[in-house]
Amino acid sequence: MSDPLNRPAGHPYLTHIPPVMVSPPRGPRWKRRLAGGAAVLVLVGGGGTTGALLTEKYLDRAPAAATSGTTGSTVAATTVAEDDELAPIVAKVRPSIVTVLVDGARESSLGSGVVLRADGLILTNNHVISSNGTVSVRLSTGRTVPARVVAADSTHDLALVQATGLSGLTPVTFAGDDSVAVGDTVLAFGAPLGLEGTVTSGILSATGRSLDTGDEQLTGLLQTDAAINQGNSGGALVDTSGRVVGIDVAIATAGDSTGSVGLGFAIPAGTVTSVVKQLEAQLDS
């Protein structure tokens, strides 16, 4: 069977990638634990030595809507009318989106990331790289390079990864938190279900959401109905100017559903840039 992602032979992700989720392997780590009829899922895709890719990790606690509010954002970003083209925005942002791979002895995982510096400094979620394993980064061109984790903030679920041997990459541009409002058009970039180079569109559905993933207490999140799934973790949520307004981090889903139901969440750009400055200061100290 041909590999739709054109991965090299022998790569642990060289498995069939179906258009729907595969059943998770047995074991207590993957036990489905639901609270209030809903589950919060972090968006990292996983694969074990059995070849099961795209397994989902359920996290107990209530859905985001149970502890939500709205912020006072009043300045709206430019919105896109139905007949406007999104392709120029995609072309602008896509070179700055990467896939983050973590290959371990017993399992592997896959998430997304954004380019912060031309020399290969990458931002992703902490939960993407939290498992032990060898880290690598795949660029939008398809080139894969070794990488290492250089800083992490588990409280805000963010981490910095340094890819090696790179130059001339295109960094993302971050928007201010006051530049986005509920109802604005947004696009989500990443590798959902391992399908790299994917982009989806929707609107900003709400601001100021809170999530208890069981590992972190995340507050002030953006909510979107743009379709995001496992593998989108660390990817970009951008406005119609191509600026990053948030970093995708989780979805809420109900019952036995494991896919997007239009309830995705992203860490807002203001929080992201503040944490990145702190992490970069650690690198320079």
Question: Are 82 and 187 in a shared domain?
Answer: yes
Query: Would 80 be classed as within a structural domain?
Result: yes
Mean of all residue pLDDT scores within the chain? 76
Residue 15 inside a domain? The answer is: no
For 32-64, write each residue's pLDDT tens digit: 222 334 455 555 555 432 222 222 332 222 333
List the domain range (segments joined by +) for residue 107: 97-171
Distance (Å) of CA 65 to CA 27, 28, 38, 79, 221: 29, 27, 10, 25, 11
Highest mean pLDDT among 59-73, 212-226, 228-242: 228-242
Total structural domains within the chain: 2
Spatial neighbors of 258 by CB under 8 A, at least 6 apart, are 21, 41, 56, 230
Q: pTM of the full predicted structure? A: 0.74
Q: Residue 89 forms beta bridges with which residues? A: none
Examine the domain organization and report whether 153 and 235 are in the same domain.
Answer: no
Number of Cα atoms under 13 Å in the Cβ half of residue 235 = 40
In eight-state DSSP terms, residue 92 is: H
Contact 235, 186 (CB under 8 A): no
Active-site residue set: 127, 157, 233
Q: How far is residue 121's CA from residue 132's CA, in Å, rounded to a whole number?
A: 20
pLDDT band, very low/low/confident/very high, at 125 (cuts 50, 70, 90): very high
Are 239 and 213 in contact, with CB atoms under 8 Å apart?
A: no
Per the DSSP assignment, residues forming a β-bridge with 194 are none
Q: Examine the fold and report which residue of 152, 171, 190 is the final residue of a domain before the chain moves on.
A: 171
Q: Is the pLDDT of residue 72 over 60?
A: no
Return d(Cα 119, Cα 150) in angstroms, integer.
14
